[in-house]
Amino acid sequence: MEKNLPGGDIVHAGGILSTDNMSVKNSVFTNNSATSDGGVIWNRKWTNLTNCALNNNSAWDGGTTYLDGANIINCFLYR
């Protein structure tokens, strides 16, 4: 997946909600929020994040991500 997502606002995952293994690369997520879990990504399976920037995202639990397992390479998280 290669996508630049503008801000979203939802209960779980302001950007991506998944229940399957997934990979995200070369992506920017900015101004997303969730009122519960995972401001950008909520996933109950394995997540690979590569070359991503996560800027100004928020949630009650897991401000940027709420993941059961992850491999995160060369990603930047900014508040």
Distances (CA, A) of 63 to 39, 76: 5, 14
Mean model confidence pLDDT for the chain: 79
Looking at the predicted structure, is the pLDDT value of residue 8 above 70? no
CA 74 – CA 65 distance, rounded (Å): 15
Q: How confident is the model at residue 52 (pLDDT cuts 50, 70, 90)?
A: very high
pLDDT the model gives residue 47: 92
Q: What is the pTM of this model?
A: 0.72
Q: With pLDDT > 90 as the criterion, what percentage of the chain qualifies?
A: 25
pLDDT band per the 50, 70, 90 thresholds, residue 63: confident
Domain range annotation of the chain: 4-78
Assigned token pair, 68: 């059961």
